[in-house]
């Protein structure tokens, strides 16, 4: 909750002015029925046009003042809510960017998207509701009820006995049930978003397989589930207004009957009865406002839980990292895994077990194994993208947990198996590696990655457009651009996680030879046996364990597993 106070604290002046404007507007509004009673009883009934004119001008001036106060308050509430929403969205996106891969997997990409969009928007609406209605509803109710009691205490008992208990009970029921329904709605939105996202990401596969009908069926099922819960929730909230309306109509009939008798008996005047009915309308309006507040806050509470869950997860990971990492620097690129274990959350068995591996500065080590042996997971442990379940992962003799994320991942660069490009230009994508890279540095990185000639052949060169995900480039071109991007940060250790799988054998060999000349530590995770021939050592993984570690020429002689992997 501290994050909310931190954000709203920046707008405390507007938040303090808002209730004052609300009070001014409510006072102008609640005085009007009393002035109307004066016009009726002292002006119209007495045929005194002077009273009608004088009081009428007072009502006009009060209406204008109330309108101005309302307009200014609406402007302030809109400004505070939109800015607070933008601040919260920025904080949440920053928290998401700090999450580990395990945390992102736990939340799910679709859920994180809806938390960043739908949930923050709902909280933004709650802020707007608070600044406009949270002060107005009780003030309008109190002032209107005070005037009602002043006019006739007996008639006010009818209001207290019929409408107020019903409204209080309905508001309590909605606030209790609404939060649970809202959480269920958001879960269904997450599932629907995940279905759409998966379909769009795999759109080519769906088209190529002719499975549009199946995917449409999956979407329809998720869409129907969301519709059903929305319908149930809608019925829950819709019931409130007819119940209040019925209670209000019964109260109005009772007041007209009892008030009419009092007018006949001369106990109250006609103008007072009219003003009493107007105040009754204001009380009903305030009760409707309470219901809107209860509805919005029950929905916002569910969204708040989801937002705070992400912020808490990111804060916990930051706390684990600590602040001591700021002084640590990676200089040599020595990598040491000491008795490392790793298990995915919820899994029964370790994926990696007892891994001990050293990569000396300037050494190239290839990691190879059958599918599911844990190669990619091992590669992700080194730059801290995943956290080991046991043992230690050291870089330059320091546990990776003690480095700052920026320092570690800039100096120990990883090109992932499914690395992506972003929409923009080739220059934009390369600048991710180093925004301040000089033309010479860009030229050298693209040369090493064997992509320089291709870039030069494009209309626009470095300024040639790149579609989202690099859709206008081949797989090999994307991989080489990703390698060049990583090189621009001048890493002392480079991890290639099957990053040359779409490149032909000749180009792959040239890239690896160019990388070796850079005197940086290289970890090559690959499914391509030909790539291992360039390595100083080859590490063979089987079922999460290292079964052999030797130069490739030695393994060809002694390792049956390596020969099986290398077999065409």
pLDDT of the residue at 163? 63
Q: What is the pLDDT of residue 367?
A: 92
Q: Is residue 48 part of a domain?
A: no
Question: What contacts 24+ positions apart, CB below 8 Å, involve 397-401?
Answer: 397/334, 397/336, 398/328, 401/320, 401/321
pLDDT at position 365, please?
93
Position 325 scores a pLDDT of 47
In this structure, the answer to whether residues 297 and 372 fall within a common structural domain is: no
Looking at the fold, whether 312 and 346 belong to one and the same domain comes out as: no
- Residue 537 and residue 448 share a domain: yes
pLDDT of 219 reads: 82
Q: Are residues 500 and 410 in the same domain?
A: yes
Q: Report whether 309 contacts 189 (CB < 8 A).
A: no
The count of structural domains within the chain is 2
Separation CA 396–CA 403 (nearest Å): 11
In a domain, 18, yes or no: no
Q: Which residues contact 520 (CB under 8 A, 6 or more apart)?
A: 333, 362, 491, 492, 493, 494
Q: Does a structural domain hold residue 556?
A: yes
Q: Which of 316, 351, 366 is the last residue of a domain?
A: 316
Q: What is the mean pLDDT of each run of 10 residues along the chain (568 residues)?
A: 81 85 89 85 80 86 90 88 90 85 80 87 84 83 84 70 66 65 78 78 67 80 83 68 69 75 80 83 79 76 85 66 60 90 84 91 89 86 87 90 82 82 87 86 91 90 85 86 90 89 87 84 85 87 88 81 66
Report the alpha-carbon distance of residue 484 to residue 276 in Å, rounded.
78
162 contacts: CB under 8 Å, gap ≥ 6: 247, 250, 251, 254
| Confidence at residue 324, expressed as pLDDT on a 0 to 100 scale | 45
Quick one: 343 and 435 in the same domain? Answer: yes
Residues 366 and 221 in one domain: no
Q: Dihedrals φ, ψ of 465, to 5°?
A: -75, 150
Same domain assignment for residues 312 and 189: yes
Q: From CA 216, how far away is CA 218, in angstroms rounded?
A: 5
Co-location of 352 and 472 in the same domain:
yes
Provide the residue range defining the domain that includes 111.
87-316
pLDDT at 366: 92
On whether residue 23 sits in a domain, the answer given is: no
Can you read off the two tokens belonging to residue 245?
Answer: 């309306």
Domain presence at residue 429? yes
State residue 362's pLDDT score. Answer: 87
Whether residue 14 is contained in a domain is answered as: no
- Looking at the domain assignment, is residue 310 inside a domain? yes
Q: How far apart are CA 519 and CA 291, in angstroms?
A: 69
Q: Are 170 and 244 in contact (CB under 8 A)?
A: yes
Q: Does residue 357 lie in a domain region?
A: yes
CATH code (residue 508):
3.40.50.300
CATH number reported for the structural domain that contains residue 215 in this entry: 1.20.1560.10
Q: How many residues does the chain have?
A: 568
Cα separation of 307 and 183, whole Å?
12
């Amino acid at each position: 909750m501290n994050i909310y106070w931190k954000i709203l604290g920046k707008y405390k002046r507007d938040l303090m002015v808002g209730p004052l404007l609300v009070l001014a507007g409510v006072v102008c509004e609640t005085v009007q029925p009393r002035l109307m009673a004066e016009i009726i009883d002292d002006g119209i009934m007495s045929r005194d046009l002077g009273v009608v004119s004088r009081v009428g001008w007072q009502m006009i001036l009060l209406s204008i003042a109330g309108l101005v106060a309302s307009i200014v308050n609406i402007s302030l509430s809109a400004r505070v809510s939109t800015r607070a929403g933008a601040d919260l969205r920025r904080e949440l996106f920053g928290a998401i960017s700090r999450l580990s891969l395990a945390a992102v997997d736990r939340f799910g990409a679709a859920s994180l998207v809806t938390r960043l969009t739908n949930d923050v928007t709902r909280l933004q609406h709650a802020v707007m509701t608070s600044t406009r209605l949270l002060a107005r509803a009780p003030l309008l109710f109190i002032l209107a009820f005070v005037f009602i009691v002043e006019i006739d205490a007996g008639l006010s008992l009818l209001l207290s006995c019929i409408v107020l208990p019903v409204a209080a009970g309905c508001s309590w029921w909605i606030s209790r049930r609404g939060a649970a329904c809202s959480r269920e709605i958001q879960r269904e939105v997450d599932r629907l978003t995940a279905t759409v996202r998966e379909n769009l990401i795999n759109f080519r596969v769906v088209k190529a397989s002719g499975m549009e009908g199946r995917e449409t069926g999956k979407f329809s099922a998720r869409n129907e589930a969301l519709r059903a819960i929305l319908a149930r929730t809608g019925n829950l909230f819709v019931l409130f207004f007819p119940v209040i309306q019925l209670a209000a109509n019964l109260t109005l009939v009772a007041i007209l009957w009892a008030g009419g008798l009092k007018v006949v008996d001369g106990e109250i005047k006609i103008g007072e009865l009219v003003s009493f009915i107007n105040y009754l309308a204001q009380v009903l309006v305030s009760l409707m406002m309470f219901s809107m507040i209860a509805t919005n806050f029950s929905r916002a509470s569910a969204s708040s839980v989801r937002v705070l869950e992400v912020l808490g997860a990111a804060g916990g990971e930051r706390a684990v990292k600590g602040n001591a990492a700021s002084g640590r620097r990676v200089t040599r690129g020595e990598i040491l895994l000491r008795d490392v274990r790793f298990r995915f959350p919820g899994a029964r068995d370790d994926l990696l077990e007892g891994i001990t591996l050293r990569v000396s500065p300037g050494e190239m080590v290839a990691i190879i194994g059958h599918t599911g042996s844990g190669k990619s997971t091992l590669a992700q442990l080194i730059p801290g993208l995943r956290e080991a379940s046991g043992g230690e992962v050291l870089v330059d003799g320091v546990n990776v947990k003690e480095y700052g994320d920026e320092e570690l991942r800039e100096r120990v660069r990883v090109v992932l198996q499914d690395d992506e490009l972003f929409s923009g230009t080739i220059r934009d994508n390369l600048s991710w590696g180093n925004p301040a890279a000089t033309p010479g540095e860009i030229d050298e990185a693209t040369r090493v990655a064997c992509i320089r000639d291709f870039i030069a052949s494009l209309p626009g060169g470095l300024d040639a457009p790149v579609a989202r995900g690099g859709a206008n480039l081949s797989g090999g071109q994307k991989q080489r651009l990703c390698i060049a991007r990583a090189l621009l940060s001048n890493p002392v250790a480079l991890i290639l996680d099957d990053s040359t799988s779409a490149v032909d054998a000749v180009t792959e060999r040239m890239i690896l030879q160019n990388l070796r000349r850079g005197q940086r530590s290289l970890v090559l995770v690959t499914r391509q046996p030909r790539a291992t021939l360039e390595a100083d050592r080859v590490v063979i993984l089987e079922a999460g364990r290292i079964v052999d570690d030797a130069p490739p020429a030695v393994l060809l002689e002694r390792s049956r597993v390596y020969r099986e992997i290398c077999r065409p």
